[in-house]
A and B are shown apart, each in its own frame.
Chain A
């Protein structure tokens, strides 16, 4: 009984805890409450993941209203994996949030911060579990609005403009999505995703459907930061509070990408999206451009948070490429990379949170000798960097490997080559940072390692990069299962 309601609980737990955070008399209690809610959400996600692995999809109609009329939550092999990563990353980031946020945000605004965080988490989880197209839009708005708040709380005043830009662009994206959903409703008279998919075959390939697809891909593209719609992202990541950068980078774009996968494969279907419409070509071109342009920009970037932001744009290119290949292998690579990229970017940004806490700057030139000044932070940063480059025995390698294989199997030789070139570019931009870090410190700078509560979360994610690079059962295994589930007959 309780198992069937778990998916609802995963959304409601952080949603209810959010207003309670404001009521807490002390910032520290708000933090604790947020952490508890997030961990509870993670525990539920783990349980759901296990249940889905053994029993298959879990459907929960809300309020007892049957499907086409009421909203239903569906947990299946695809979104259970995304839930796992979103709630997991949120919990790990919250672990290091207390110290980091104490330093970056006034204590009077901290309860609001944790409220916004929980709302964002709740929105992201809602987006993944819901089986209703309009409900997805609602959760998208919840998560977006709260993330604007989170970003605006950055220390730097430029955070305000960054947040405002993101707000405008995010709103345009959300509008496009709701227009797309509107078209779908117009064509089918239903908002339930499964129901729309059933009704579609009669009306497919009309101008309405084509417009719906265009609006949804561009709208989602904005939230995903698909090149060239990524322009809001570098500033948003760079000026947000450190832990927010880690949380948003590892989860928000990934959930949007999941939603795109859901729209393309579950609602429109493989046949319409990739055979009748030239979506493969569009996505592939944009993805390759993302990898090459963003990686090159990252090489020249001096602000390391911005550098990682551009690297995210490039990595999102890899995920889109997997979707563009539109084979089981390609989608497997894409989903696996969603998972793995969350691990590596989470670890990198959390390591930078340590740096901000101790040194107060993430400009490349200020990090001379970091390997001696903060050896443990440097260690976590290095491991995650290796994963980002795609070094064997790290998580990053496994998904890139799958992607290259998928590209080769589809006969996309040039694309496979470009992926490898992208890895080389990653070596260059990472090396430029590492090289500065391993130089001897300029003056006799003291050893100033970050406190354990900041280090531990970064190391948890860094070690996860190695674990999932060696034992690929969870990330690759379930990504494969998810791809099979999504594509069904298509191989």
Chain B
């Protein structure tokens, strides 16, 4: 059976299934889609480390398939994520979404098993091309324009990667994807390419822009693959690059301000996603075995718990058609299971002991302390508190509790519940028995998350963070202007946040808006100019009379002749 040929790259199965899904209908399609990640995962377990495919194309020695501990872990992760995502989206009967989801998952697998930069580039672009349909499938004007912005930025990332890969080849004579480093132009270009997909600060807008515009099920897939492939690529290409520590630290902190004031709960999760990736980037930057293990482990856990949160919000959006915190509330009465799962996800992302986030986040934080990065450690501490505040409390609180918005949609469909249950189970399982995850990490683990100092420190953070939230909410809930500004725009939430944060955010927002408007004005002016010259009636595009065409010929002839005569 071909499935058991060990050198069959995992993406082949997904691509084949995507092709089959084009022609299958009804539950046949569902069966095939469900079988693929299961069969692929079992298959991957039977492949030995060190398996590789070699290929010679256009004079390049390529390695389209390479298995080692690092890629294997991401391989398992993506199989699990694909399976959960497919179960979650079983009720969707949209060929476009289903095919692109399979292609998307396959491309992510192709990318993490790519042994050379060329193959990586191909899957890098395939990730973009397949995922854009998950955003488009929402079929709204907003999603369409978000998809275009997403596409342009992601293709730019691909172009940077290609340029970097070329330069790297010129420099080293090899296409192999191993440690790259930033001491050369090629490395910088490649890092920029990874950085875009990884949502580095200032390069992050595509993420918060497009993910909340995708379909309820599409966002679940989107949140699992693109950024995690980038994290994998960073771990492979840039471990121990010090700059990444600071980039990552900034990533953990700045989204918190935005997340607190955001009203669209899926956008809140998108911001918190950048915050979680920040932890991983810090880990990659520190680059010790413990830190890299932490980064990888946290990527693994993040896919599961962020997926769980996205699924719970997706269920809410699916059933109520609303996703703004101001429009929701009191859903726990009609959606008890979804509420439970959401709280488990919230506990995991907030790194409660006995939940999965705790066992991986604390690895990165310990590594930061070991490496004498106290300031970074404090930033991470602040970020941990912030996560709990906006993702751990705000999401479940405003969606399921708080003021009853009078919505009685009923419980989510069984397939959604099953998908969420699997994720929730994994969150708790990894949290209680971290050795399951530790055993598959790229480096040997000599680390115990459950010593008293870790547990106590984390519980303290959580306690004070919760206390702060309660206090702010209680003190902010009774101001007299409540009735006039009730439950409307995100500005209500600023009452819950400390005045200081509110001011900072306001300032940041105005500056950002100012900058954005300035850039936008310039952009429109440029576009107008371009249209004037290049549009159908423009100088460069209109049909010219023959005389002027002939004039051009004369000009060109005269100038070439004089150039030749001068040099000749």
Contact with B along A272-312 (1 / 0, CB 8 A): 00001110001000000000010011011111001000100
* Cα–Cα, bound, A380→B550 (Å): 38
Asked whether A435 is an interface residue with its Cβ less than 8 Å from the other chain, the reply is yes
CB-nearest residue of chain B to A226: B556
Asked whether B535 is an interface residue with its Cβ less than 8 Å from the other chain, the reply is yes
Interchain CB contact under 8 A, B534 and A420: no
Asked whether A398 is an interface residue with its Cβ less than 8 Å from the other chain, the reply is yes
Q: Tell me the smallest distance from the CB of A256 to a CB of chain B, in Å.
A: 15
Q: Which residues of B contact A404 (CB under 8 A)?
A: 166
* Cα–Cα, bound, A401→B565 (Å): 36
Number of interface residues of B (CB under 8 A): 45
> Given A176-B557, A205-B568, A431-B148, A169 and B549 touching (CB < 8 A)?
yes
Interchain CB contact under 8 A, A296 and B530: yes
User: Which residues of B (508-558) have their CB < 8 Å from a CB of A?
Assistant: 530-531, 534-536, 538, 540-541, 543-544, 546, 548-550, 552-553, 556-557
Interchain CB contact under 8 A, B563 and A278: yes
Q: Which residues of B contact A176 (CB under 8 A)?
A: 553, 557
Q: Tell me the smallest distance from the CB of A86 to a CB of chain B, in Å.
A: 25
Q: Tell me the smallest distance from the CB of A403 to a CB of chain B, in Å.
A: 11
> Given A165-B546, A210-B564, A300-B534, A218 and B540 touching (CB < 8 A)?
no
Segment among A230-238, A257-265, A451-459 that sits at the interface with chain B:
A230-238
Asked whether B121 is an interface residue with its Cβ less than 8 Å from the other chain, the reply is yes
Interchain CB contact under 8 A, B155 and A427: yes
Number of interface residues of A (CB under 8 A): 62
Asked whether B264 is an interface residue with its Cβ less than 8 Å from the other chain, the reply is no
Asked whether A36 is an interface residue with its Cβ less than 8 Å from the other chain, the reply is no
Q: Tell me the smallest distance from the CB of B124 to a CB of chain A, in Å.
A: 10
Asked whether B144 is an interface residue with its Cβ less than 8 Å from the other chain, the reply is yes
The one of B151, B538, B543 that contacts A300, using a Cβ cutoff of 8 Å: B538
Q: Which residues of A contact B541 (CB under 8 A)?
A: 234, 297, 300-301, 310
Interchain CB contact under 8 A, B166 and A393: no
Interchain CB contact under 8 A, A435 and B550: no
Interchain CB contact under 8 A, A207 and B565: yes
Asked whether B178 is an interface residue with its Cβ less than 8 Å from the other chain, the reply is no
Asked whether A99 is an interface residue with its Cβ less than 8 Å from the other chain, the reply is no
* Cα–Cα, bound, A310→B531 (Å): 15
Q: Which residues of B contact A173 (CB under 8 A)?
A: 553
* Cα–Cα, bound, A299→B535 (Å): 8
* Cα–Cα, bound, A409→B167 (Å): 10
* Cα–Cα, bound, A392→B540 (Å): 31
* Cα–Cα, bound, A278→B25 (Å): 63
Q: Tell me the smallest distance from the CB of A251 to a CB of chain B, in Å.
A: 22
Asked whether A358 is an interface residue with its Cβ less than 8 Å from the other chain, the reply is no
* Cα–Cα, bound, A235→B549 (Å): 13
Interchain CB contact under 8 A, B563 and A282: yes
The one of A207, A217, A296 that contacts B568, using a Cβ cutoff of 8 Å: A207
Interchain CB contact under 8 A, A401 and B58: yes
Q: Tell me the smallest distance from the CB of A295 to a CB of chain B, in Å.
A: 9
Interchain CB contact under 8 A, A296 and B534: yes
CB-nearest residue of chain B to A209: B568
Contact with B along A48-82 (1 / 0, CB 8 A): 00000000000000000000000000000000000
Interchain CB contact under 8 A, A299 and B156: no
The one of A221, A278, A297, A408 that contacts B166, using a Cβ cutoff of 8 Å: A408
Asked whether B561 is an interface residue with its Cβ less than 8 Å from the other chain, the reply is yes
> Given A210-B564, A276-B567, A231 and B125 touching (CB < 8 A)?
no
Interchain CB contact under 8 A, B564 and A300: no
Q: Which residues of A contact B538 (CB under 8 A)?
A: 297, 300
* Cα–Cα, bound, A235→B544 (Å): 10
Q: Tell me the smallest distance from the CB of B310 to a CB of chain A, in Å.
A: 25
Asked whether B317 is an interface residue with its Cβ less than 8 Å from the other chain, the reply is no
* Cα–Cα, bound, A210→B564 (Å): 6
CB-nearest residue of chain B to A472: B58
Asked whether A222 is an interface residue with its Cβ less than 8 Å from the other chain, the reply is yes
Asked whether A6 is an interface residue with its Cβ less than 8 Å from the other chain, the reply is no
Q: Which residues of A contact B540 (CB under 8 A)?
A: 293, 296-297
The one of B163, B166, B544, B567 that contacts A231, using a Cβ cutoff of 8 Å: B544
Interchain CB contact under 8 A, A391 and B125: yes
* Cα–Cα, bound, A464→B122 (Å): 19
Asked whether A135 is an interface residue with its Cβ less than 8 Å from the other chain, the reply is no
Q: Tell me the smallest distance from the CB of B169 to a CB of chain A, in Å.
A: 9
Q: Which residues of A contact B151 (CB under 8 A)?
A: 427, 431
The one of B530, B544, B557 that contacts A214, using a Cβ cutoff of 8 Å: B557
The one of B553, B556, B567 that contacts A278, using a Cβ cutoff of 8 Å: B567
Interchain CB contact under 8 A, B556 and A221: yes
CB-nearest residue of chain A to B530: A296
Q: Which residues of B contact A302 (CB under 8 A)?
A: 536
Interchain CB contact under 8 A, B568 and A277: yes
Q: Which residues of A contact B121 (CB under 8 A)?
A: 392
Q: Which residues of B contact A306 (CB under 8 A)?
A: 536
> Given A296-B534, A424-B156, A431-B151, A277 and B564 touching (CB < 8 A)?
yes
* Cα–Cα, bound, A239→B162 (Å): 38
Asked whether B560 is an interface residue with its Cβ less than 8 Å from the other chain, the reply is yes
Q: Which residues of B contact A296 (CB under 8 A)?
A: 530, 534, 540
Interchain CB contact under 8 A, B136 and A420: no
Q: Which residues of B contact A229 (CB under 8 A)?
A: 549, 552-553, 556
Q: Tell me the smallest distance from the CB of A184 to a CB of chain B, in Å.
A: 15
Q: Tell me the smallest distance from the CB of A381 to a CB of chain B, in Å.
A: 15
Asked whether A445 is an interface residue with its Cβ less than 8 Å from the other chain, the reply is no
Contact with B along A197-219 (1 / 0, CB 8 A): 00000000101001101110110
Q: Which residues of A contact B564 (CB under 8 A)?
A: 210-211, 213-214, 277-278
Q: Tell me the smallest distance from the CB of A477 to a CB of chain B, in Å.
A: 10
Asked whether B139 is an interface residue with its Cβ less than 8 Å from the other chain, the reply is yes
Q: Which residues of A contact B155 (CB under 8 A)?
A: 424, 427
* Cα–Cα, bound, A173→B155 (Å): 40
Interchain CB contact under 8 A, B543 and A218: no
Interchain CB contact under 8 A, A435 and B144: yes
Interchain CB contact under 8 A, B530 and A222: no
Q: Tell me the smallest distance from the CB of A465 to a CB of chain B, in Å.
A: 16
Asked whether B159 is an interface residue with its Cβ less than 8 Å from the other chain, the reply is yes
Q: Which residues of A contact B184 (CB under 8 A)?
A: none
CB-nearest residue of chain A to B96: A438
* Cα–Cα, bound, A391→B540 (Å): 28
Q: Which residues of B contact A415 (CB under 8 A)?
A: none
Q: Which residues of B contact A300 (CB under 8 A)?
A: 530-531, 534-536, 538, 541
Q: Which residues of A contact B499 (CB under 8 A)?
A: none
Interchain CB contact under 8 A, A393 and B122: yes
Q: Which residues of B contact A472 (CB under 8 A)?
A: 57-58
Q: Which residues of B contact A105 (CB under 8 A)?
A: none
Asked whether B448 is an interface residue with its Cβ less than 8 Å from the other chain, the reply is no
Interchain CB contact under 8 A, A169 and B550: yes
Asked whether B51 is an interface residue with its Cβ less than 8 Å from the other chain, the reply is no
CB-nearest residue of chain A to B568: A210
Asked whether A189 is an interface residue with its Cβ less than 8 Å from the other chain, the reply is no
Q: Which residues of A contact B374 (CB under 8 A)?
A: none
Contact with A along B128-153 (1 / 0, CB 8 A): 00000000100100001000100110
Interchain CB contact under 8 A, B553 and A297: no
> Given A297-B541, A392-B121, A211 and B561 touching (CB < 8 A)?
yes
Q: Tell me the smallest distance from the CB of A151 to a CB of chain B, in Å.
A: 14
> Given A276-B567, A300-B535, A300-B536, A172 and B556 touching (CB < 8 A)?
no
Asked whether A417 is an interface residue with its Cβ less than 8 Å from the other chain, the reply is yes
> Given A231-B544, A401-B58, A420 and B530 touching (CB < 8 A)?
no
Asked whether A440 is an interface residue with its Cβ less than 8 Å from the other chain, the reply is yes
CB-nearest residue of chain A to B124: A392
Q: Which residues of B contact A361 (CB under 8 A)?
A: none
* Cα–Cα, bound, A391→B170 (Å): 21
CB<8 Å pairs between A and B, sample of 9: A205-B568, A207-B568, A214-B564, A222-B553, A229-B556, A277-B568, A401-B58, A435-B148, A438-B136
- List of 4 A-B pairs having minimum Cβ-Cβ separation, nearest first: A210-B564, A300-B535, A297-B541, A297-B534
Name 13 extra pairs, CB < 8 A, besides A169-B546, A214-B564: A176-B553, A211-B564, A213-B564, A218-B556, A231-B543, A231-B548, A282-B560, A297-B534, A301-B541, A391-B125, A416-B163, A424-B155, A427-B152
